[in-house]
Chains A and B, each alone.
Chain A
Amino acid sequence: MKLQQILRDRETWKGILIILALSLFIGTVSNSGLIRKFLRGEYRQAFFSREDYPGLVFITLPEMEELWHNQAALIVDSRSVPEFRSGHIPGSISVPLEEVKGGNSSLLDRLKPGQPLIIYCEGRDCLTSLNLARLLHERGFRDLRVFSGGWEEWVAAGLPVEKEDDAIQE
């Protein structure tokens, strides 16, 4: 049978439509609880259930700024080393997720589970901060804040920037 024949056959499209409609129906019905939560505004920053990650919260720029001013938490930069070197939030330390996942777990030795941590990455679409937070949560850290606006929002707000790489321990 030729592709043209298959594509011209109404039966083919009828089958596809039925499969898609059925999937949409069952998917919606079986996930109605999750859909309700999503419509209420949950999972807008990350897809995880808060019950599974107690102690992991997202913070906004004003909250981030206040915590930074008060030096109330250790700030962790999850971006790559070159990105960190080209500029970072003053006082932050570099813990690149890619290196931690690559097996360099000594980078985590500087962090203590009881310590409040703020983690950030590039901003917008970046996910390394959240993924590092999840990894740390699995290792017993329970005071984790993810600054979703990240580096881009920090710079756009005209807040201080540090370019030294004193905080890197290689």
Chain B
Amino acid sequence: MLLRLIVGGVFIWAAVTKIADPLAFAQDVRNYRLVGQSLSFLTAIVLPWVELIAGVCLIIGVFPRSSALLISGLLVFFIVLVAITMVRGIDVDCGCFGTFSRKANLWLILEDSIWLAMSLVLLFSPANDFCLLKKTS
């Protein structure tokens, strides 16, 4: 339960900072120079809500497996993205926590790896009693 609170809480916090300023987040996405203006905009509109809903679902135990898989997938994507950005020599703010963001660097990869390890533990652990929707089969 504690692990779900931590991982879910971090994702909710990350989402809220982005939802508060979608344009700033869209610019952060654009700064990675991987996708164009339209896709950056779409990402900024949808991604923070994916993080928020997945985080909430993980904490309250609705679709816990799905949210853990989604969060793990997002973290793998973030790690690969930061690694590619570093290899390309692009100096950007990660955009992870809105105005509290920092540089996309090796430390960020390490930090994301820790979150990934936690979410993988959640993904592979048996469903626990705190879930609102329990699987009956």
Give chain A's interface residues, CB within 8 Å of chain B.
1-3, 6, 9, 11-16, 18-20, 22-24, 26-28, 30-31, 34-35, 38, 43-49, 98, 125, 127
Among the listed A12, A31, A45, which residue makes an inter-chain contact with B66, where contact means beta carbons less than 8 Å apart?
A12
Of the candidate stretches B20-28, B75-83, B110-118, the one touching chain A is B20-28
Chain B CB within 10 Å — which of A19, A30, A43 has the most? A19
B61 to chain A, nearest CB (A): 11
List the 8 closest A-B pairs by CB distance, nearest first: A15-B66, A15-B63, A23-B49, A47-B27, A47-B26, A23-B50, A47-B23, A27-B49
15 contacts between A and B (CB under 8 A): A1-B126, A3-B124, A9-B65, A14-B63, A15-B62, A15-B67, A16-B69, A19-B63, A24-B46, A30-B49, A47-B23, A47-B40, A47-B41, A48-B23, A127-B31
Residue of A whose beta carbon sits closest to that of B64? A15
Q: What separation, in Å, do the CA atoms of A32 and B31 have in the docked complex?
A: 23
Among the listed B41, B65, B66, B125, which residue makes an inter-chain contact with A43, where contact means beta carbons less than 8 Å apart?
B41
B114 to chain A, nearest CB (A): 20
Give chain B's interface residues, CB within 8 Å of chain A.
19, 22-24, 26-27, 30-31, 33, 37, 40-41, 44-50, 52-54, 57, 62-63, 65-67, 69-70, 91, 123-126, 135
Contact between chains at A15 and B46 (CB < 8 Å): no
Among the listed B27, B41, B48, B49, which residue makes an inter-chain contact with A48, where contact means beta carbons less than 8 Å apart?
B27
Contact between chains at B66 and A11 (CB < 8 Å): yes
Contact between chains at A15 and B49 (CB < 8 Å): no
A34 surroundings in chain B (CB, below 8 A): 22-23, 45
Q: What separation, in Å, do the CA atoms of A34 and B46 have in the docked complex?
A: 13
Contact between chains at B30 and A23 (CB < 8 Å): no
Q: What separation, in Å, do the CA atoms of A147 and B70 have in the docked complex?
A: 40
Residue of B whose beta carbon sits closest to that of A28? B45
Among the listed B22, B44, B66, which residue makes an inter-chain contact with A14, where contact means beta carbons less than 8 Å apart?
B66
Contact between chains at B37 and A44 (CB < 8 Å): yes
Contact between chains at B66 and A13 (CB < 8 Å): yes
Contact between chains at B37 and A43 (CB < 8 Å): yes
A15 surroundings in chain B (CB, below 8 A): 57, 62-63, 65-67
Q: What separation, in Å, do the CA atoms of A28 and B47 have in the docked complex?
A: 11
Known: A22-B49, A127-B31. 14 other contacts (CB 8 A): A1-B125, A2-B124, A11-B65, A12-B65, A14-B66, A15-B66, A18-B66, A19-B63, A20-B50, A23-B50, A26-B53, A34-B22, A47-B30, A48-B23
